[in-house]
Structure 1
Amino acid sequence: MASIRLFVSFVLLSGAFCRMEPVPLVIWHGMGDSCCNPESMGYIKKIVEKKIPGIYVLSLKIGSTLIEDMENSFFKNVNDQVTLVCDMLAKDPKLKGGYNAMGFSQGGQFLRAVVQRCPTPPIINLISVGGQHQGVYGFPRCPGESSHICDWIRKMLDLGAYTKEVQDRLVQAQYWHDPLNEEEYRKKSLFLADINQERFVNTTYKKNLMSLNKFVMVKFLNDTMVDPPASEWFGYYRSNQATETIPLNETLLYTEDRLGLMEMDQAGKLVFLGVEGDHLHFSKDWFYKNILPFLQ
């Protein structure tokens, strides 16, 4: 009798495993983009759904319309955006068991803030595609359709990236990292200095980031958009100059282990991927080969 019950339990358990749904995926777009652009996030959603039948893919929309979503990628306080997204994800019943997250460009560091600040529901794997985790120090070019906005951004940053008005208003100023004036950056950066633990160490941020199974960072090896491209692998300019860059393992964030990145690295949780091409330029085959395994 016991053996029969064991057999029945095994059959039922096997059936349950067979019916398990894929891990959901949450996507956050980059600057000047929107949740559902068929040439960008809509395309990513489509090819993921094709390869992983039945997967729930949520592409985040910050605002009530696609135009508002795009505008908010330039002009809505990042901390407010992260709070909005945390609330949105917590209320989504399809995510309650956990999900993978994939951020494109600035969406990469925004989703990292979600990991650090909002552990429920949990993010399993975080994939940052061209995210600027140490910030930027320049805007060498911008999307053509948003050229007027990019001109305005440059003027605002020229006036003073760390003034309260610019920090409150301009998204890109909130991850502007001036290596020539680190003290002002640490003191006045509204967003990046906080999530990078550059004022004080929030042990909860560190614990939450270390809970990831994998933190995947994609760097575009011919990037002309991000200055410096090393930021995509958590590297940055050496302090007090804007010429020489250093890798993650030479930064204070790593050697002082403010975020737990050293421990994550030693545990094999950090994954560094390089792809030939300019910012966010990759092929479908490259995506399937290198990114899809972290979503399955």
Structure 2
Amino acid sequence: MLIAQLLLLATTAAGAPAPAQAVLGSAAPSPDSSAPPSPRPNPRPLVVWHGLGDTAHSKGMDQFADYVRSEFPGIFVHAVVAPTEGSPSDEQKAGWWGVAEELAQGGCDQIKGIAELEGGFDAIGFSQGGLFLRWYAQYCDGPPIKNLITFGTPHYGIAALIPCPEPPTLTCSLAARAAKAGIYTRWAQSHLIQAQYYRDPARMQEFLEQNSFLRDLNGEGGVDEGGGSGREDGGRGLVRLENMVAIAFRDDTTVVPGLSAHWATIDPLNTTHIIPLEEQELYRGDFIGLKRLKKAGRLHRLFCPGQHMDLGGEGGCGDRLVRKWVGWAA
């Protein structure tokens, strides 16, 4: 089963347009373009967190887990069920409605209770799921993530709501309507998951005052009583990772901007210009360790061709990246 086909249901459920056909292609050249390690006995476990609107054991996610097991015999794969012990309906609803930190903490507690993960694991986050796995890496007191791989994750937030699927679900429609009524109201910031990683560069004062999940995840801090901007430390940051592998999609129109997957953001003075990571205080001040990771050759910003979550066919971009970064010896 091709990796793109395995995740097609997840892509559609999340509101991204399903690709008309699989697009074959490779990741862009990068400093980490050496050949991947050969599969070895005793591969490290893998934790997977699904995207918006999907569930841990949807058909697509289960097939993806089976694909990984076929590639790396003996590997232990765990798909995070959020909320823990929730029904598929509960999981889908939780992707739209709730408190992001609480959902992430639930995943943390779940992972800590799994004996097979006690020695550490690699992790793959699909779109929104990558934010929750990053929260785990920065704040959870559980076993460490070794390689964190994210596909299309809006690490620096979204400047437009992720579109609902066609036809739209009631859950998505209600969430979108509520968000549009006031994205930075206290109610939205404590009830709507998308609002909690909505970062409008033209409304940074509101973002810093009202947001906590994404703001603190990136170490951007809040605004104190005197109006000055401080910053949280972003928990442990990301420097303890062996590798941070952030994958963007070249034609992504689901996440705006698509290069948020690489911590890039829209220039508020020129919305056609994207400000790269290196030109931002997040990097210059090394708020969460991205500068240290890059200097050590452990920050890998890669590309897949095509639209959001279009991972290509057999031997394509997603296939090669999974084979490269998963399955290392424990």
Do both proteins adopt the same fold according to a TM-score greater than 0.5, normalized to the shorter chain?
yes
Structure 2 CA distance for aligned equivalents of residues 45 and 162 of structure 1: 37
Q: Deviations over 1:102-158 (max 9, x none)?
A: 100011111101100014301000001100000001136322354433332332222
Percent of matched pairs sharing the same residue: 32
Structure 1 residues not aligned, in runs of 5+: 1-18
Corresponding letter in the other structure for 1:179? P
Structure 2 counterpart SS, 1:209? coil
Counterpart residue number, 1:77: 99
Alignment partner of 2:302: what SS? strand
2:68 to 38, 43, 48: 48
Indicate which of 280, 287, 296 corresponds to 2:309.
280
2:177 aligns with 155
- Which structure has the higher relative contact order (CA within 8 Å, separation 6+)? 2
| Equivalent residue runs for 1:116-155 within 5 Å | 116-139=138-161, 141-144=163-166, 146-155=168-177
C-alpha offsets along residues 235-287 of structure 1, whole Å, 9 cap, x if unaligned? 01124554321111111111111111111111111111111111111124222
Identify the match of residue 22 of structure 1 among 40, 43, 59.
43
Are residues 242 and 119 of structure 1, via their aligned partners in 2, closer, same or farther at CA, if it must alter by over 3 Å?
A: farther
Deviation at 1:82, TM superposition (A): 1.1
The match for 2:213 among 172, 176, 191 is 191
Which is higher, the Rg of structure 1 or of structure 2? 1
For the pair 1:293 / 2:313, whether they are aligned, the reply is no
1:226 aligns to 2:247 (yes or no): no
Between Structure 1 and Structure 2, the one with more helix by share is 1
Q: Find the residue that maps to 1:132 and give its secondary structure.
A: coil
1:72-111 equivalences in 2 (<5 Å): 72-111=94-133
Structure 2: how far apart are the matches of 1:140 and 1:203?
A: 28
Q: Distance in 2 between matches of 1:197 and 1:110?
A: 15
Equivalent residue, structure 2, for 1:66? 88
Query: Secondary structure, in 3 states, of the residue corresponding to 1:144?
Result: coil
User: Could you tell me how far apart the structure 2 residues matched to 1:158 and 1:293 are?
Assistant: 40
- Corresponding position of 1:180: 202
For residue 35 of structure 1, what is the amino acid of its counterpart?
A
Pairs aligned (count): 277
The residue number in structure 2 matching 1:14 is: none
Distance in structure 1 (CA, Å) of the matches to 2:171 and 2:270: 28
CA distance in 1, matches of 2:97, 2:270: 29
Gap change, CA 1:295 and 1:145, over 3 Å in 2: farther
8 Å CA contact 2:219–2:233 kept in 1: the answer is no
Q: Which moved more, 1:189-198 or 1:146-155?
A: 146-155
Q: Is the deviation greater in 231-240 or in 140-149?
A: 140-149
Q: Distance in 2 between matches of 1:174 and 1:44?
A: 28
Q: Does 1:213 align with 2:235?
A: no
Which residue does the alignment assign to 1:3? Answer: none
TM-score, normalized by length of structure 2? 0.79
CA gap of 1:204–1:244, structure 2 versus 1, over 3 A, is closer
Match of 1:16 in 2: none
Alignment check: 8 A CA contact 1:179 1:242 kept: no
Shift in Å at residue 292 of structure 1?
1.7
